[in-house]
Amino acid sequence: MIIELLKKCFSEPTVEQHRCEKLAAIALLVEIAMADGSLDDQECASLKKAIEKSHNLTGGELDMLLENAKHEQRNATSSYTFTRVINDEFSAEEKFTLVQDMWAVAYADGNLDKYEEHAIRKLSELIHVPHNEFIRAKLLARPS
């Protein structure tokens, strides 16, 4: 699953680093989607759209990674494994895009839940996104 693949990223240099980055970002997006305790159809569609756009994944690979991410996120005790990869490998712009995707997922069902907002704030801080960029991402992702 995702945790095992991320562990391999740090222990086996033969594992493709780019795949590890995708897995970490997807796990954080799943955390946001599930922050309010449910993953409805709109959130799932928004989650898939964000993954397709940011990580060029479609079809079977996307579905497989998403199912694995859901499972791992339910069983995760901490976001540290995921945020560590993001901090080590993502540029400031990639982090901003990830936060913007988090907001898009949170807004997908038409209701920004307080738990979703809290989770995005927490994760943004953990991946060292400045507060002004956190707010800019929120404004850009907000539905019109």
Sorted by sequence, the CB contacts under 8 Å of residue 36 that are 6+ apart come out as 113, 115, 116
Q: Which two structure tokens, joined as six digits, stand for 22?
A: 């995708």
Domains and CATH numbers, the chain: 2-141 (1.10.3680.10)
pLDDT at 4: 57
**120, 102 Cβ separation under 8 angstroms:** yes
Of 71-75, 89-93, 103-107, 133-137, the least confident: 71-75
Of 73-82, 91-100, 126-135, the least confident: 73-82
pLDDT at 14: 41
